[in-house]
Amino acid sequence: MAAGNRDLHGRIQSAFRHPFLRKAVKSATNTLRDRKNVVTHDLGHWEDWRNLGMQIRNHVIENLDTYLQQFAKNMLQQGAQVHWAVTAEEALSIFQTIIDKHSAKLVLKSKSMVSEELHVNHVLEDRGIHAVESDLGEYIIQLAGETPSHIIVPAIHKTRQEVADLFEKDSGQKQQPDTASLTRYARQKLRQMFLDAPIGVSGCNFAVADPGAVALFTNEGNGRLVTSVPPVHVVFMGLERIVPTFRELDVMAKLLPRSATGQKITSYMSVIRGPKGLGEQDGAQEMHIIIVDNGRTRILANPKYQEVLRCIRCGSCLNVCPVYRQVGGHTYGWVYSGPIGAVLTPLLQNDLKNWGETAYLTTLCGACTEACPTKIPLHEMLIQLRLERTVSGATSSLERTAFRLWSETWGNPTLYKLSMKGGYIGQKPFMKEGHLEGGPTPLSAWTNSRYFPPIAKETFRDRWRKGEI
């Protein structure tokens, strides 16, 4: 599962080498968060809706086993086949069996973050099976050979011109860089594939336990085609993605599109209750649901992070995150990005040492927590991850020594005062016109881009002691 790039600083540098990417991300996230503010304000009582969202998701997570069984039982009764996959490998092998059974060489997909997590496309490609993304954004990043840089808007980092260039390379023909022409190109390319593909793959925004149903929120209509035109429909579902009934789905339908894209409702909402029944016109002849754990029950068992399973993958925390907005999604190294990615990546990878550095991609401003429709305390979890890294010895010995010295000095009022006096003298070589410049690290990390104020000749406590205040 580890595929991805573990070199955090390399990833940051790469983001800064692409000013267009940074501009595109900033402007798109501004649009998304502004639209969200308008529609949530229009709905009214947004805080109440968030509380409701949190309660529903908490309730589901506390009773996950019951709801999963109920969902599976109902879907089976309605003619679908339900598969349980503990690991990524298991999920992929179940999928392979379905592919083999139908001797499929082409698989058409609509957007699914779980399938990104499993790297389905790469695995299939290696086995000579062509998997094609039909969501426009996913289609673009697939052509570019990249992972999504946003949960909702996977190609958020690409300008129209870059997309046109990709399509030109794909088609060998000149392409106009306007949205209408680009969409037309993708549509023409994909249309025939919808008809040819024996297997369609979708994700699952929500699984309704009673009566069993899979709900998809989409904007391009591709979701509907993928789930109903090919004879076989395979759903990749994260095992926490449940709601009890349609009543709770209705609450999610209020929260998700508003938080994600600032829409009151997505253009399409598909509710699929099983394969085509006798006498029915639409639907796949065969429906498979692969319920994927891949580390989720491990998170469930850990009270420190359990709440992260409330996530409905709306991407709202990305759009408000000052760090994400500067560096985009690929900086997070794997498939999930922004604050939720910074938390989920080390947890799902189960590797704090190599992946835990994502926990430093935050100023701890709390904007993510404030934006989250299910009130996940993301910024607190990021501190918790940092703590666990420290405790497990994953941080550098230099940093550990620095904090130990700091606490020994600053934990004692006399030494604290002395250290400030020392600082006052020590800063002199770097003083220039009332501020500090240059200096050793970490001071230089600051002074490279900002002036640093000098320690005052007479501190507040000195002045107080002298009775001057």
Partner 1 sequence: MKVSLMITCLCDSFFPEVGESFVRVLRRAGAEVSFSPDQVCCGQPAFNAGYHDEARRVARTFLKAFQEAEYVVSPSGSCAEMVRENFLRLFNRYPAELEQAKALSKKTYEFTEFLVKVAGVRSIGGRFDRKITYHPSCHMTRLMGVKDEPIQLLQSIEGLTLLELPRAYDCCGFGGTFSVKMPDISEAIVTEKAENVLQSGADMLVGADMGCLMNIKGRLEKMGHAMPVMHMAQVFDQAQGGL
Q: Which residues bind ligand SF4 (CB under 6 A)?
A: 151, 259, 311-317, 340, 371-374, 376, 378
Long-range contacts of 157-163 (CB under 8 A, 24+ apart): 157/18, 157/21, 157/24, 157/25, 157/328, 157/329, 157/330, 158/21, 158/24, 159/20, 159/24, 162/20
Residues 36, 369, 373, 376: which binds partner 1 (CB under 8 A)? 369
Quick one: 428 exposed, middle or buried, by C-beta within 10 A (0-12, 13-18, 19+)? exposed
348 binds, among ligand SF4, partner 1, none (CB under 5 to 8 A by kind): none
372 binds, among partner 1, ligand SF4, none (CB under 5 to 8 A by kind): ligand SF4
Q: Does 403 bind partner 1 (CB under 8 A)?
A: yes
Q: How far apart are alpha carbons 161 and 28 in whole angstroms?
A: 15
Q: Does 452 bind partner 1 (CB under 8 A)?
A: yes
Nearer to partner 1, 263 or 384 (CB): 384
Nearer to partner 1, 20 or 410 (CB): 410
From 206, 314, 222, 312, select the one nearest 261 (Cα to Cα): 314
The least distance separating ligand SF4 from the CB of residue 92, rounded to whole angstroms, comes to 25
Provide the edge-to-edge strand list for the sheet that holds 106-109.
81-85, 286-292, 232-238, 199-202, 106-109, 130-133
Nearer to ligand SF4, 311 or 335 (CB): 311
Residue keyed to tokens 């500090």? 436
**Token pair of 277 as six digits:** 């029944």
**CA 308, 310, 311, 317 torsion-angle sign:** negative
Residues 93, 161, 179, 448: which binds partner 1 (CB under 8 A)? 448
The least distance separating ligand SF4 from the CB of residue 40, rounded to whole angstroms, comes to 12
Q: How many residues bind partner 1 (CB under 8 A)?
A: 65
254 binds, among partner 1, ligand SF4, none (CB under 5 to 8 A by kind): none
The least distance separating ligand SF4 from the CB of residue 258, rounded to whole angstroms, comes to 11
- 251 and 57 Cβ atoms separated by less than 8 Å: no
Q: Does 386 bind partner 1 (CB under 8 A)?
A: yes
User: 154 to each of 28, 159, 330, how far by Cα in Å?
Assistant: 12, 12, 10
- 60 and 242 Cβ atoms separated by less than 8 Å: yes
Nearer to ligand SF4, 186 or 335 (CB): 335
The least distance separating ligand SF4 from the CB of residue 38, rounded to whole angstroms, comes to 17
Quick one: 457 exposed, middle or buried, by C-beta within 10 A (0-12, 13-18, 19+)? exposed
Binding range to partner 1, per CB under 8 A, among 47-55, 160-168, 175-183, 363-371 = 363-371
317 binds, among ligand SF4, partner 1, none (CB under 5 to 8 A by kind): ligand SF4
374 binds, among partner 1, ligand SF4, none (CB under 5 to 8 A by kind): ligand SF4
315 binds, among ligand SF4, partner 1, none (CB under 5 to 8 A by kind): ligand SF4
